[in-house]
Amino acid sequence: MKAHTKETQATMTPQKSLQYLKEGNQRFQNNLKANRNLLEQVNDTRDGQFPFATILSCIDSRVSSELVFDQGLGDIFSVRIAGNFVNEDILGSMEFACKLAGTKLIVVLGHTSCGAVKGACDNAELGNLTNMLRKIKPAVEAVTEPKDTSLRNSSNLEFVDTVAEKNVKLTINRILQESDVLADMHKSGEIMIVGAMYNIKDGAVTFFE
């Protein structure tokens, strides 16, 4: 499989880009990889890159977007931060990826048993981590069940995963509220912004559409 070119990127629509990722995740789950020569792709992309999607995911070592979606060099922009939230710098990176570099899809990818979400649920405090986890707290507060405070912590994995899903959805809301560039592109259909969850138990990605 060759790296994307300006011509192949131009053929990609938001929906087609999403389908590419779904098919890639199916290959990953079945332990099948597309036939690609990564060193050849290094050469193919030496004069430019033409990715079709931008994926915001967690730094978790088990959730590499290139691997779980079976993509090669030059296929996707990968933005990674613990808890897959956005700030001004990440929004700027996404604006570059979509408006200037031509990607057609943004995926906000959370995952089960997320350590950052667990930390937010437990009100963990440690250096700069304390302020970082505050970015995820709105998702914790938005999940109203269970009401029993003894069940609203990292020991309750169902609660953790529900918060992780809510965090994905709130992150999408923030993208649309805080980036006029991306909101306008989304409204016009130039790009699509979707949420998804990766299951660390089986490698499956579930998209919220």
Does the annotation place 4 within a ligand binding site?
no
Task: For residue 146, say if its preceding peptide bond is cis, omega within 30 degrees of 0.
Answer: yes
Q: Please compute, for residue 25, the number of CA atoms within 13 A of its CA located in the half-sphere on the CB side.
A: 20
Does the annotation place 58 within a ligand binding site?
yes
Q: Where are the beta strands (DSSP E) in 30-156?
A: 53-57, 76-80, 105-111
- List 205's β-bridge partners, or say none: 198
Instruction: Calculate ∠ Cα 143-147-150, nearest 5°.
Output: 110
3-state secondary structure of 79: strand
Identify the sign of the CA torsion 111, 113, 120, 138.
positive
Does the annotation place 60 within a ligand binding site?
yes
Token pair recorded at residue 51: 């990715």
Q: Where are the beta strands (DSSP E) in 156-199?
A: 192-198
Does the annotation place 98 within a ligand binding site?
no
Binding annotation for Zn(2+) = 58, 60, 111, 114
Binding annotation = 58, 60, 111, 114
